[in-house]
Chain A
Amino acid sequence: MTCDLETRGGQQSIDIRRRGSEWELTLDGRILSVDVTAIAGRLSLLMGQPQGGPYDPKVEAAFRRPLRSYEVAVERRSNGERIVYVNGLAVPVSIVDPREQLTRRRTAVAAEAGPRSIVSPMPGRIVKVLVREGETVAALQGLVVVEAMKMENELRAPRAGQVTSVKVVEGMSVESGVVLIVME
């Protein structure tokens, strides 16, 4: 079975199959064998070169086999999005379903060009609206200042464009996820 994944570093394809109690993976033409054990919500991975025969901890060769050890936790988000916690870092990984890939590309293109909503990232209060409807804004230009958790946070334009709608006024309280400004 082949698994297509995307990390910040790029896309990769991992061919995965079980070989006895181990997982055998092929990526970039390399073959890796991974012994996986679940422990209290985490996975212990021992990774190394395949030894030919199936991994068996009772076999003498297993005692001399150096394996890279990683402890990971895989957290599920929606739509194949995963957060993998490893070495104290959170690594985002997307699992690409071939059927979904086409739609994903289409929506990605649409998102670049179409209207873009600036939503409130958290509950807070609108301290200042910095733009007016119809105004042309540059990428990263400040749009609105939201006060939350005792700090003022400026929300900026994700790209250059025109403000088509301002949905809030100064002093207003907003919930998380509320559309504040629409631009295109």
Chain B
Amino acid sequence: MGAVVVESANFYMFYPLQLFANWLTYAVFNIAPQTLLASAVNFFIFDTLKIFILLAIIIFVVSIVRSFLPAEKIRNILSRKHKFVGNILAALLGIITPFCSCSAVPLFLGFVEAGVPLGVTFSFLVSSPMINEVALVLLFGMFGLKIAGIYIISGLIISIFSGLIIGKLPVEHLLADFVRKNQARNDLVLPIMNWSQRLNYAKDYTWDIIKKVWPYILLGVGVGAWIHGYVPADFLVKYAGAGKWYAVPLAVLIGIPLYSNVAGIIPLVSVLTEKGVAIGTTLAFMMAVTALSLPEFMILKKVMKTKLIIIFALVVGMGIILTGYLFNAILK
């Protein structure tokens, strides 16, 4: 279904890459066209090249934008905003920030201590890992613009509402005792980068990320290419098609422990969609992979009680499950 549209859109945008992949497959490797092997090899070459090129460009651009809007500046903006507007801004600003589970604690502490409302902080905490440039490039590359767009918009809505809901709940007492609310200074003057520093920062950061994700991408696309070529289409419909009510919550549960491999999971999942997994289920799975991460939960235990982490996971998880059902119902 969707895969055909995606491939034709990508076909025009990445036409030279397709020519190159064809040339490698048919002329250099000398694989007979129309065979399953040719289809798998061609798919692998085309997709990995496309993804690496997109990643390099997009990460670089996002890093440059981020050099103007570091987390410290975002905190100062958010500490002056009130609820709702703050939640929306936090979700939007979460898009450009990098997020690894190692930065969850400093960001959380920094925001809350500088007077950013708890709910707004949570909006940021959801959107920052969920809507990140690596996931977006892979979604765009493997699924096309429409699905990437749906992912961004539903991700933003989930972030905003999760934050609003948690902000309404009486959870202040569930923060770790040492969290000093509204006390940290956010008025210190920090140095601003010049252009050569920005370019260096963006170059280093892009290289860092690509170094980190390339094995996962090769693996994900590789296994994906194999499935693409060898597993019959619609093979998974009877297990994970839109008619299976349990597919969405199950996908979310499976997604929780998989965060670090997001770069490999998206290519893999895109092929599963081709083989019959419903699109809403796929979206829910990827959102669970990025937004609900077990290592992040472990780290957050330093700053909040387990009960708050469970509330956080439940609220976001419910949002993701609803999104999954919604798109299973409307995107056939």
State yes or no: do A and B come from one complex. no
Q: Using a CB–CB distance below 8 Å, which chain A residues touch chain B?
A: none
Q: Using a CB–CB distance below 8 Å, which chain B residues touch chain A?
A: none
